[in-house]
Amino acid sequence: MKRKVSLTVNGTRREDEVEPRLLLVHYLRDVAGLTGTHIGCDTSQCGACTVLIGDKAVKSCTMFAVQAQDADVQTIEGLAKGDQLHPLQQAFWDEHGLQCGFCTPGFIMAGVYLLSQNPNPTDDEIRKGLEGNLCRCTGYVNIVKAVRTAAKTMGGQTKQPQATAATAGGD
Amino acid sequence: MAVTQLVGAKIHRREDPRLITGHGHYVDDFLRTGMVYAAFVRSPYPHARVRKIEVTDAAKAPGVVAVYTARDFKSVITGATHPATPSFVAEKKHVPERRPIAETEVRFQGEPVAVVLAESGAQAVDAVGLVDVDYEPLEAVTDIEKAIKPGSPAVHEGAPDNICWDLAYAGDDVTAAAFAEADVVVKERIHQQRLAPTSMEPRGVLAEYDPYDKKLQIWMSSQGPHFIRLFISGALGLPESNVRVVSPDVGGGFGSKISPYPEDYLVAAAAKLSGRPVKWIETRTESIQNTTHGRGEIFDIEVAAKKDGTLLGLKVTQWLDCGAYTATFSAFQPCACLMAGGAYKWKGISARTVGIFTHRVPTDPYRGAGRPEATHLAERAVDLVAREIGMDPVDIRRKNFIQPQDFPYTQNFGLVVDSGDYDKSLDKALELAGYKELRQQQADLRKQGRYLGIGLSTWIEICGFGPSAATAPATGGIALVESAQVRVLPTGSVIVYTGSHSHGQGHDTTQAQIVADTLGVPYDSIEIRHGDTAEGPAFGYGTYGSRTLAVGGLAIHMACRRVIEKGRKLAAHLLEAAEDDVSYEQGKFMVKGSPDKAKAFGEVAFASYGAGLPDGMDQGLEATAYFDPPNFVWPFGAHICVVEVDPETGSVDLQKYVAVDDCGTVINPLIVEGQLHGGITQSIAQALFEEVVYDPESGQLKTGTMIDYAVPTANEIPDLVLGSTVTPSPSNELGVKGIGEAGTIAASAAVINAICDALSPLGIKHIDMPASPDRLWRQINQARATAGNGQKGVKA
């Protein structure tokens, strides 16, 4: 019944036996114990569960854990380097880009992907790039500002922090 | 007193490091040993008789620990559940008893009929499908207009006419004179659609019962854990002291996490019945279906005015969809009637509220709760009159504003508006928006056949709930005051416990700012704690109604002052000075005139736990306070919205949004702006996008996912331009008001007024919400057809 899955999560290799129907988001939360990735809907609208798989942002509720075989998954917990926040985390803090914080991990991961693809986005491009994520508290004003600020801090850096090959069969 | 240092400063939130790194603690992040998962069997019908529930197959399914139905809970849930406050409706015609789980009859789609516990969440959901419920579908009524027609199916036997309440605050006698002298009378019917609050974190409950100590611990996503403890302990027949409710990080609430829900009682009871910790996390569909909805009203208004724009009289009838039961705070929403006059002077306002039962999930407060409806109708009323007499919407507002010298101003329903300067915020908003230029641009575009509209909302609100003298009669004796406890540790660091509870508002930061200034101690030595009934004062009143700062913040301030008073006595003793000669400034107790004779706050704290105290003084440096405000507080502002409507598609391009708001003294501008951004966005969302829709025939929910329920994305919301004025509240020592709901109270009217303004050349006077493209397209086509038929419809 259960199937073995091996993958890398935040740089650590893991091997687990899981039900084939287990969604990646439940794997990350319930098996790997990484509760920073949140669940805000049942239909892949809200984006609270966004993680990076290789170089892509993926809503982790849109795939099964077993589909992440050999994948390199990065969650919100893996973004800071020790005490050193990722520029986007810092910018969300500085610009008051969060209130209740529930959607925030997903926004930050989606933002990391956005800036890796487009290091100097216009405001419209930021809004378009984040349309897969919902926030109920901020009206998006300060989220857009935070991404703008991070883009400046990162100085148009073209590569995303985690530069690994895309291997997962995400959506 | 300490010189203000931190109040007013843009301090970055201390909550954020854990939240931006994925280390927040929301209820679903908690685990208990032996924990099982609950899933609910819910009625698919809005109204049905439950003939039989067969649980055999479900009980045998893999991982299933128990399946409970209403009968199983009878031995555990022995007390009353789902209290309903009388609130602003002093006399209720009928308040039906509500149990958390249906036994013989279901009255709304989603009402629980059985609970499955299983070792995993997936197994619980699997087994829900195996519970076989034999329903006899009954005729349902999901529309308030139909519900009050004779012959409609009754939601409750005790209310055959489906009337929950019918109350006139003021009859037509109050407005008779005003209407008699009117040059113009305008009438309108204004719909307030049902809204799903949709906090990003759905509801969730984790409960664990210890049968040996007879203690129940609950972790849940709540805006008011003390009220939940009160209600659940009563329902389960436990001493209140044996129940602990912890509400950790809460992922938004917007009013929907105040009242007790069926699942709160049932999960706690299931933990007691099964002997296992039980967790339940709401799915999004469950949330849209079962979490209380906001609004759900129809307002009939009549406005009397003079040709010169003088407003005279207003008649308001509120038809409110209560849903299947009277929710705990549903009767708060009639405050829309009491606030219907807005920022204006009226000779008379007559108001009637009618609460109506339907076979839908109950309605309850949602961000603003009654005040957004009041603003919407007042601001629409003023615009309708302006349109009728050909007056600029700015001029008619100015002509009727309550003036700065009128405050404190006793309005038509006896509420005392504490302060305001409505022209000032309007001036600033007009300047920021470039109003004159916009009107010119509008005129130019109209010549090209384009539809640009400018909408105003000069809103006011009542918040900071509330003075016990006003709230006790309205809540059945509950005083909505707030508590705080300040404990100074021997080395001088401070822990503050507050009965309010943040669900995203940054209380840890703003409250520490207040403490730092009041006590004159370093910000980093102050810890703010809330959300745990086992800590701090005996009771906390929670966070809603934009009350945390104006009530809770003042309780903290008051407790700090008590700490200083004790410290001053002790310092005088240590300094061998008369108490009256000791002042407290910047963290030091000093002998007046001898600044070298001083004791630092920390020294006094340390001494307070030692020997050698003055006669009659006991050890320790801590104080508790309950703050009962003398009045509500009254924020206000002016919003201007600019839209262009495409008449071919009915789509609205929201081009500019300017908001100038006044919430009195600002503790942290960063947080005030954030509250406004979010509040305005939720109100724009009501104006343009969101609506809970039920199929009129079957009563089925049609907007049960985020695909159908249109919470806006970043693409739909423009950059919001904010300005502010500061009119300190005379009602409290800090001069503060509330800002949590202001944006939501203000914005829908500005957006709809802008759309009506844009479409005025077509003769369109009123648009209901949401002003979706299909609604506008139909209305535009209808207006054009009417005009094409040579009838009156086109106005200059």
Q: What are φ and ψ of residue A37, in 5° steps?
A: -85, 120
Residue A92 Cα distances to A57, A88, A102, A164, angstroms:
18, 6, 13, 25
Domains and CATH numbers, chain A: 3-76 (3.10.20.30), 87-153 (1.10.150.120)
Which of B177, B43, B155, B153 lies closest to B101 in space, CA to CA? B43
Helices (H), B70-137: 70-73, 121-128
CA-based nearest distance B253→chain A, Å: 9
Would you say how long chain B is, in residues?
A: 796
Per DSSP, the three-state class of B454 is strand
- Please check whether residue B66 is in contact with residue B274, taking contact to mean a CB–CB distance below 8 angstroms: yes
> Which among A41, A127, A139 has the least Cβ separation from residue B678?
A139
Q: Which residues of chain B have pLDDT under 70?
A: 1-4, 87-92, 789-796
Count Cβ atoms within 10 A of the Cβ of residue B651 and give its class: 0-12 exposed, 13-18 middle, 19 or more buried: middle
Q: What are φ and ψ of residue B352, in 5° steps?
A: -135, 140
Taking CB atoms and an 8 Å cutoff, what residues of chain A touch B119? none
DSSP state of B689: T
Tell whether omega for the bond before B390 is within 30 degrees of 0, i.e. cis: no
Which of B432, B414, B431 lies closest to B469 in space, CA to CA? B414
Q: Do B714 and A136 touch (CB under 8 A)?
A: no
Which residues, including other chains, have CB under 8 Å from residue B41's CB and lie 6 or more apart?
A: B53, B112, B113, B114, B115, B116, B128, B131, B133
Count Cβ atoms within 10 A of the Cβ of residue B693 and give its class: 0-12 exposed, 13-18 middle, 19 or more buried: middle
Q: Do A140 and B681 touch (CB under 8 A)?
A: yes
Count Cβ atoms within 10 A of the Cβ of residue B695 and give its class: 0-12 exposed, 13-18 middle, 19 or more buried: exposed
Q: Do B706 and A46 touch (CB under 8 A)?
A: yes
Residue B264 Cα distances to A146, B101, B219, B604, B690, angstroms:
37, 11, 10, 45, 27
Q: Do B16 and A98 touch (CB under 8 A)?
A: yes
Q: For residue B85, what pLDDT is reported?
A: 80
- Please check whether residue B351 is in contact with residue B169, taking contact to mean a CB–CB distance below 8 angstroms: yes
CA-based nearest distance B696→chain A, Å: 25
DSSP state string for B228-266: HHHHHHHHHT--GGGEEEE--S----TTTTSS--HHHHH
Q: What's the rounded Cα separation, in Å, for the pair B306 and B185?
A: 9
Query: Among B19, B722, B739, which would you mutate to test the A interface (most chain A Cβ atoms within 10 Å of its Cβ)?
Result: B19
- Please check whether residue B63 is in contact with residue B308, taking contact to mean a CB–CB distance below 8 angstroms: no
Residues 743-772 of B with CB under 8 A from A: 743
Q: What's the rounded Cα separation, in Å, for the pair B304 and B381?
A: 10
Q: Do B711 and A143 touch (CB under 8 A)?
A: no
pLDDT digits (tens, 9 = 90+) for B652-685: 999 999 999 999 999 999 999 999 999 999 999 9
- Please check whether residue B70 is in contact with residue B115, taking contact to mean a CB–CB distance below 8 angstroms: no
Q: What's the rounded Cα separation, in Å, for the pair A144 and A86?
A: 16
Closest A-chain CA to B30: A35
Strand order through the sheet with B184-195: B163-170, B348-357, B311-323, B294-305, B184-195
Region of B464 please: left (phi>0), alpha (psi -120 to 50) or beta: left
Give me the total of CB pairs closer than 8 Å, taking one residue from chain A and one from chain B: 174
| Tokens at B739, concatenated | 């800002």
Q: For residue B475, what pLDDT is reported?
A: 75
- Please check whether residue A34 is in contact with residue A51, taking contact to mean a CB–CB distance below 8 angstroms: no
User: At residue B530, what is the residue type?
Assistant: H
Q: What's the rounded Cα separation, in Å, for the pair B573 and B612?
A: 9
Which of B526, B461, B405 lies closest to B661 in space, CA to CA? B461
| Tokens at B538, concatenated | 């005996």
Query: Among A45, A109, A136, A144, which would you mutate to test the B interface (most chain B Cβ atoms within 10 Å of its Cβ)?
Result: A136
Q: What's the rounded Cα separation, in Å, for the pair B741 and B682?
A: 10
Q: What's the rounded Cα separation, in Å, for the pair B586 and B598?
A: 11
pLDDT digits (tens, 9 = 90+) for A16-57: 999 999 999 999 999 999 999 999 999 999 999 999 999 999
| Tokens at B265, concatenated | 């009682």
Q: Does B505 touch chain A (CB under 8 A)?
A: yes
Taking CB atoms and an 8 Å cutoff, what residues of chain B touch A49? none
Would you say how long chain A is, in residues?
A: 171
Q: What's the rounded Cα separation, in Å, for the pair B201 and B251?
A: 5
CA B458 and chain centroid, separation = 20
User: At residue B134, what is the residue type?
Assistant: D
Q: Does B14 touch chain A (CB under 8 A)?
A: no
Residue B688 Cα distances to B552, B601, B744, B751, B754, angstroms:
34, 54, 13, 8, 12
> Model's pTM, two decimal places?
0.96
Strands A50-53 and B621-627: unpaired
Query: If you search the block for the tokens 């378009």, which residue do you land on?
Result: A128
CA B76 and chain centroid, separation = 32
Other Cβ atoms within 10 Å of B1 Cβ, number = 12
CA B652 and chain centroid, separation = 27
Q: What's the rounded Cα separation, in Å, for the pair B605 and B615?
A: 17
Q: Do B705 and A43 touch (CB under 8 A)?
A: yes
Q: For residue B472, what pLDDT is reported?
A: 82
Q: Do A123 and B719 touch (CB under 8 A)?
A: yes
pLDDT at residue A167 tops 50 = no
pLDDT digits (tens, 9 = 90+) for A96-150: 999 999 999 999 999 999 999 999 999 999 999 999 999 999 999 999 999 999 9
- Please check whether residue B409 is in contact with residue B417, taking contact to mean a CB–CB distance below 8 angstroms: yes
Domains and CATH numbers, chain B: 402-477+631-796 (3.30.365.10), 482-627 (3.30.365.10)
Q: For residue B787, what pLDDT is reported?
A: 83
Q: Indicate if ipTM > 0.90.
A: yes
Which of B417, B664, B368 lies closest to B545 in space, CA to CA? B368
- Please check whether residue B343 is in contact with residue B401, taking contact to mean a CB–CB distance below 8 angstroms: yes
Q: For residue B115, what pLDDT is reported?
A: 98
Q: What's the rounded Cα separation, in Å, for the pair B627 and B615?
A: 29
Q: For residue B5, what pLDDT is reported?
A: 87
Which residues, including other chains, have CB under 8 Å from residue A70's CB and lie 6 or more apart?
A: A6, A7, A167, A168
